[in-house]
Amino acid sequence: MHHKKTIKKLKFLSIMLIPLALLIKWIMSQYPEFTENVYPRGIYKYIMQPVSLLTGLIPFSVAEMALIFLLIFVPVRLIYLVVKAIKTGKWSTFMPFVANLVLIGSLWFFIQMMVWNINYERLPYSQLAGINMQDSSVEELDALCRWLVDNTNKLREQVSENEDGVMFVEGGYKSVFKRVQKGYEAVAQKYPFLGGKYGPPKPVLLSRLMSHTNIIGIYSCLTGEANIDIDIPHIELASTTMHEMAHQRGFAREDEANYIAYITCMAHPDADFKYSGSVMALQYSMNALYAESPDRYFAIAKNYSDGYLRDLETERTYWNQFQGIARDVSDKMNDTYLKLNGEEDGVKSYGRMIDLLLAEHKSSYSSYKIDNN
């Protein structure tokens, strides 16, 4: 009996792992250069590459199956204990269950912090890639948007369409998953830190349900899996997959993962990948421009090609059906998570990829004539 009480106390004491993990993360945040060399390029890489390759041998998402199991097991077990307590009058039967939940939750938090969240404290991508980040004017943002529109329109002419004239990937998500590595292999020649062997992307079984949260990709840091919502419009498949694969490589910040998705799509030899990446960059850039100058936004939007407009309308129609409580709750949770990991702007931090786009492309679009008429 004494032995059981001791074990129970130790389970509750495991909650101390949470402040310990936060302390370690804070210490690492004070020394980003040290963290960069020791953690994402060392500890994380040597732990998660083998884990990702191992789970990659399984055709379905291990993380999704584990989540489904927990969502079924915990409520069922809880109901069982309530019924048992009512019948026997002994509510103390709850304590072992609560102790186990505390232990599992504390261990999960500690392990996730150790194998993933420290990546938020690594050096900025701009510093790793040697990109000179500077303040940019609205005129430069305008020019970037014009350049992206031109590029997107040209790429649109090279992709396949379905019977409705909407961008279509022959072979669907399976085709995308088979070809994704080509983009990273190409980029790794210039930026070796984006290289490495990881498990293939995983289709989410409950993708339609996932769309209700407006989250189209989830990286499972415990299994090293890039989980993709395969129900989304084809225009988003390649860029979403590249984004989650950026997380596999230890880039935790959402804005940086977006930018990495863009450059890996553009480096890919296939037009559907280039188009998906260009569309993603265009949409973020145009949203940023609209916030600064709606007049400029509408002046540039007039240049969208008919093909891209059809794709855009299909994309909007798809997402309009998923506006509700699930999305609001998901946005709030995601926003809170980002803020807890140092992305002070929360969900708004996604817009910061524009600075990377501007910094890299200034030389490309500096000769564009700005015309707001």
Q: What pLDDT does residue 105 have?
A: 85
Phi/psi at 366 (nearest 5 deg)? -65, -20
d(CA 35, CA 32) in angstroms, rounded, equals 5
Residue 327's pLDDT is: 42
- Cβ–Cβ under 8 Å, residues 307 and 161: yes
Q: How far apart are CA 117 and CA 321, in angstroms?
A: 33
Q: What's the rounded Cα separation, in Å, for the pair 308 and 97?
A: 54
Task: Note whether 136 and 358 are within 8 A (CB).
Answer: yes
Q: What is the pLDDT of residue 370?
A: 36
Give the pLDDT of residue 361: 73
According to the model, what pLDDT value does residue 15 have?
80
pLDDT of residue 341: 47
> Is-contact 39 119, C-beta < 8 A?
yes
**CA–CA distance, 174 with 143 (Å, rounded to integer):** 36
Splitting the chain (373 residues) into consecutive groups of 10 residues, what average pLDDT does each group show? 59 80 91 92 92 95 94 87 80 75 86 90 91 84 94 96 95 96 95 94 94 90 95 96 96 94 97 97 92 92 94 91 54 43 42 83 47 37
Going by C-alpha positions, the residue among 115, 129, 150 that lies closest to residue 300 is 150
pLDDT recorded at residue 323:
73
pLDDT, residue 227, reads: 97
Q: Answer yes or no: are the C-beta atoms of 125 and 112 closer than 8 Å.
A: no
Name the β-bridge partners of 219.
Answer: 226
Q: Which of 84, 87, 106, 111 is nearest to 95 (CA)?
A: 84
Domain segments of the chain: what residues?
Answer: 2-121, 126-365
